[in-house]
Structures are given as structure tokens and as C-alpha cells.
Structure 1
Amino acid sequence: MPDTAICPDAIDVVYTWVDDTFPGYADQLGQYAATGHDRNPNRTRDNLEILRFSLRSLERFAPFVRKVHLLTCRPQVPGWLDTEHPDVVVHHHDAVMDPAILPTFNSFAIVSHLAKLPGVSERFLYCEDDMLFLNDARLADFLSRDGRAKIFAKARLAPVHSQLKADTETPWNLALATANVALDREFSPHRRRFLAHGPRLIERAVFEEMCDRFPAEIAATRTARFRTGDNVPPEYLYPHYLLETGRAVLADATDSRRMTGYASLENFLPWTWYQLLRLDRQRPVTATLNDSFNKAPNPRVVAHVRNTLRGWFPQPSRFERADATLPG
């Protein structure tokens, strides 16, 4: 087990979050969006309030959490969140990002600023707002026995530019390939693996070191209002940077399955029902519920997911307002 100097008893958790139904957001997005990728609602929708259930899961299964930091665009704040609670800190983009690059709708740009959040613990967990804890978690689960970070990866190899068609490929895959070009330049060229969906353990100083190591790529990422192919996803670049510099180890397949689960929430009810049932039976430590509804979520699927979340986490967390109600 890592000693307490390497693995402190409590750390913070950082979430990124957005709600595209917040007044004014859609109009602002429309002023800047140019492509279908820019308008993709899968990345901005909050119809399930998964963040709310994520905080319930955090309180139930992750006792090592100290404070929750939420990074979002001004003036957005979840209506149910108790912003007066001492364990809740809300940061808006303009607190840590250059006004010249705002507003931004680029999650890569936002994530690249996580280590700049004032008051966040030196080592913290980054969770996207669709990630949950489904089983007892310890900080040591994210660390090897010598205190290095564990990287949970898939068997599949991430793409390289020679495999992609720039005019038809998604910005995500192009950005992965761009990150691999940057890593090849700084380290030995080789193929790298996709990472499993799940929280990322981040050390602030090392994250900033990574940003300094790839100044051109980080600058291109931060100044892009939407994801583009010359961006790099920090949530992919950082774990591989740790591996390349010897600060992390790859977890084996068994450990990755124990720690990370995934469900694609789709409009075909039997498929979504099956994936949630599988997660309920397997109970990995963490699970990601990825919005794949596209433009029109199926109301029956939405109702089923909401009921599942309520069944998993019926008790409000300390992070919720006492007078906040769940949507019907």
C-alpha cells in the first residue's frame, strides 16, 4: 500500500459541467457554432441530472473525498446544488481562463485549465459529469503499490493520422491522433492504447509540467472555441505523459474491468436497459453513462435511466439543497 506521504487521506474531486437549457446558453452557442459537431447536444445536455447522482455516489462510496469543485461557464450553477456548503466550491471559466478565449464550448480547452483552480488539492480526481461510483472506492485504487498513478486502458489502439480522413473524421479521433504525434515527438514513437472511461487522478504540478512540455498543442487547444483536429485531449495526453515519464503504470485488464464500467445511453430501450442491468450486476468501482441520444432522447429511455439512478442512489448527498426536488 502507498504510504500516507504519497497517498494522503483526503483529496478533492473536480467536475466539469454544463446545461444547454440554461437561459441564454443556446443563443450564445448559436452565435459561434459552425458545424454539426459544434452543436452536438450529447456533450451539453443535462436532462438526467447525472451530476446530482454522481455526488450521491461519491458520498456513499468514496469517503476519501474532501471537497467538490465544479467548473462551469458563468453564470451556470445546478439549481439543486448547495453552494453554501463548505465542501462545495463553484468556479466559473473566467476565474481561470483568459477572457480572450471565452466563451468556450471546447471541453479540451476547459480541462486544460483544471490544475489552475484556486484551492484545489495538489492531487485530485477529475470526473466528467456523467461518471458515477458504483462500489466502495479507496484512493489507493488509483495508485500502484509504489505510489505511481494507475492508468486504466483498453486493449484497442488509439488512431494515428494515417488511418483517418480529416474531412470526415470526428474532432475527438483527430485530436487523439494529434496527441500521439506530440507524444511521439517528445518520446519514442509507438502506438498507444485508448483509455478506459473513468475518473483521472491528477497531480497539479505534473499537469502544469505537461502543459509546458507541449506549448504549441496546448495553445491551439485553449484558443479553439470548439474541438478541432489540431487540439489535444488533456484527459488522454496526461495519462500517457505520466506513462512516458515513468510516473504511472498500466493497470492489468482485470483491474481495469474492476475499476471502470461504461454504458452508452441510446434511444433503443432494450439496449440501454441491458447495459444498465449489466452495470448493476457487475458493480465496477466507477461507471460512465455516456449520452448517445443525439437530437431527440427517447422519453421511455430517459424515464428508465432516471428510475435506475433513483434506485441506485435514493439518498440526497450533503452537496444538495434541502429544498431541491428531483424532476419527474
Structure 2
Amino acid sequence: MQIDAVIAWVDGADPAHRAKRAAFGDAGKSGSDQRFVETGEIYVALASILEHAPFVRRIHIVTDDQRPALLPHFAQAGLCAPDRIRVVDHDAIFAGLPAARPNFNSRAIEAALHRIPDLSERFVYLNDDMFFNGPCAPGDLFDPDGRPLLSGRMVAFSDRRPAARLKSLARRLIGRPDTRPSHLVAQETAARLAGFRRTFLRVPHRPHPLRVSTIRRALAAHPGLLERQVGYRFRDRAQYLPVALANHAEIAGGAEPRLRDDVAYLRDRMSGDVEPVLSQIRDGYTPFACVQGLESMPPASRDRVLAVLVDKFGDHLPPAIRTALMDPA
């Protein structure tokens, strides 16, 4: 079974990228600087694939006229073949589409990932803050027939939950309706597009197994949907979550998701002690992990997390990258 990996990446500290964003003004939180800060997680994600998912044929890094500066060190250190990690520009995935360019919208970008040249039918998609935390086999991502193994919980739509309906009504009555392009709303929008009306699959922050044919079939059922989706330069409440659209198309075709306790999830706003999560990461207790908001953590916490990650993946991180992660200044 041929499987690729896809990672969406941006270096928001790049002066050229900052200038592009500034040229289009303030787009609220979805366009804020913090969303584009890069702290080296991409190298951890790559090292985790090389170590724990060696079956991955090729790794595609999707970005906008950028390239991770230390990327060549993986091949130079003999950790992978020079052509195993490829950088794919937005020009390639948006070719022939009326996409807003430049585009700073993860949902627009993710909607066009299936258009990556030479992408395998089956692939696993990661944000750059996700990684493989332990050994993984193809059968952990796809069943013997090649269908994605979906993870998550089927939950009621917001408009079917009394508390959520009451909160929405209260906001409208005081003239402050919720207009945020939230992750939850985008998942619900995707589920409705796939024909779901009562419940939808709420997915955790983990690598997502996907099929190109499923994505194409879901889009074919809604002519013009992709064109509208990529027309937003920044995230918008009207957009759907592309991964969720594919997931619900798989469920409509007979896939049965199940809740898997398989993600060590560390984020900047966590209350309490983070050491238990770091222990899960260090010991490989879960097959996947996500470290979200590393750029927003206090310096001491960030350094602690990076030390754990460098120690964990040191054998698959080139020396130059290990040094850069431990001394980001």
C-alpha cells in the first residue's frame, strides 16, 4: 500500500511573508501574526515520520514561495534520499483555480491538497505541530481494503444542543452574534455538506489518513464548492473543514469511526502540570502527539518541551537542526 505524507507549513517570520500579509490589512484573529509563527516544529514532524513511519513513500511540504532553511540537512546527514522530501508551492495546488493569492488561509490550502502533483491515492495529512509519537504501520492508518481508519467522537450538532442554542440566541439578542470561523463550525459545515443532520464526527488534533478519490468524489457532489473555498484569503465562517468533508464522505460510504485514546496533546493554554503529557511524549505512550502553541509558551516551558523533543528524536534530527532547536536565538 503506497502512502505519502503531507505537511502544510509557513514561516511567518519571513519578511516577505509578513509584507504580503500586511498588504491585505487586518483580518482579525485568523490573520494575526501568532497564527504564522514558526518555531521549528516542522523538523520534529519530519524526524518523526522518518523514525516511526518509514513506510511513507514521499513527504510533501506545502508552502507559499518558502522553504524550511535547514531542510537539506536531512539528506546531507543520510537520513533520507534527496527526493523523499519535496516542497510544493501554492502555485501547484491552486493552478487553474480562482484562489485568492497570496493565500493565508489553512482551509483554502487544505481544500486543494489532493491536487499535489504525484500525490499517492492514500496519504496522511499533518499540521506542522503534529507528529508520530511511536512506531506506526500502514494498518494503523488504513484498513486492509485501503480505507482510512477514522478517529473521533460522533456528537450532536450545535443547533441540537439546548445549551448551545440558548447561548447563540443570547448573543444575537444583544447584537453580538458569533461570527468566528471556529474549528467546530467548520466541522459542522463539512458534515452538512456530506448529508449529515443530527450528528457529526468531531476529530482530535492528530494526523489524518485521507484518500484522494474520496476528496474528489465529495467535491464532485458540490460543483463550485472548491472554487468558493479557495477564494477566501483568510479563514471565514462560511468555509468547511476539508479533512472533515473527507471523513464524512468516508462515513457515508460505510466507514465506522471509533474513539481512540491515541494522542498526547500539549497546548499553550493548558492549566496545571504539563509533565504528564511530556511523559507521554517522551515514553511514546501514544502513537501520535500534538504540541500546539509552542510559540506562545513561556520561554522556560518552550525550552523544556523542545528539550524533550530533541532528546526523543535526536537520532533522526541532523546536528544542525538539533542545535537550532535548542538555541533558537
2:157–2:198 Cα contact (<8 Å) kept = no
Instruction: Give the drift of 1:99.
Output: 6.7
Residue in 1 that maps onto 2:79: none
CA–CA separation in structure 2 for the residues paired with 1:226 and 1:243: 29
Residue in 2 that maps onto 1:58: 49
CA–CA separation in structure 1 for the residues paired with 2:114 and 2:221: 15
**Paired-residue identity, %:** 23
Please show how residues 19-168 of structure 1 align to structure 2 within 5 Å.
19-47=11-39, 49-74=40-65, 76-82=66-72, 85-97=82-94, 98=97, 100-154=99-153, 156-157=155-156, 159-160=158-159, 163=165, 164=168, 167-168=177-178
CA–CA separation in structure 1 for the residues paired with 2:314 and 2:117: 32
CA–CA separation in structure 2 for the residues paired with 1:312 and 1:176: 33
CA–CA separation in structure 2 for the residues paired with 1:119 and 1:175: 28
2:105–2:234 Cα contact (<8 Å) kept = yes
Please show how residues 209-248 of structure 1 align to structure 2 within 5 Å.
209-246=217-254, 248=255
CA separation of 1:169/1:30 partners in 2, compared to 1, >3 Å: closer, same or farther?
A: same
**2:168 maps to 1:177:** no
Query: What's the C-alpha RMSD, in Å, of the aligned pairs?
Result: 2.6
Instruction: Give the drift of 1:160.
Output: 4.4
Instruction: Give the drift of 1:64.
Output: 0.9
CA separation of 1:169/1:177 partners in 2, compared to 1, >3 Å: closer, same or farther?
A: farther
Instruction: Give the drift of 1:218.
Output: 2.9
Residue in 2 that maps onto 1:3: none
SS at match of 2:149: strand
Residue in 2 that maps onto 1:280: 282
1:220–1:230 Cα contact (<8 Å) kept = no
CA–CA separation in structure 1 for the residues paired with 2:132 and 2:211: 21
CA–CA separation in structure 1 for the residues paired with 2:245 and 2:110: 11
1:218–1:232 Cα contact (<8 Å) kept = no
Residues 273-324 of structure 1: CA deviation (Å, up to 9, x unaligned)? 443234435621111111176xx5421122111111112111235xx6x755
CA–CA separation in structure 2 for the residues paired with 1:99 and 1:179: 21
SS at match of 2:286: coil
Residue in 2 that maps onto 1:4: none
Specify which of 313, 318, 324 is matched with residue 326 of structure 1: 324
SS at match of 1:13: strand
- TM-score, L = length of structure 2: 0.83
**Structure 1 gaps, min length 5:** 1-7
Instruction: Give the drift of 1:158.
Output: 5.3
- TM-score, L = length of structure 1: 0.83
SS at match of 2:316: coil
**Structure 2 gaps, min length 5:** 76-81
CA–CA separation in structure 2 for the residues paired with 1:32 and 1:271: 40
CA–CA separation in structure 1 for the residues paired with 2:273 and 2:104: 30
Residue in 1 that maps onto 2:78: none
Instruction: Give the drift of 1:42.
Output: 4.3
CA separation of 1:160/1:105 partners in 2, compared to 1, >3 Å: closer, same or farther?
A: farther
CA–CA separation in structure 1 for the residues paired with 2:5 and 2:219: 20
Q: In structure 1, what residue type is equivalent to 2:306?
A: R
CA separation of 1:309/1:279 partners in 2, compared to 1, >3 Å: closer, same or farther?
A: closer
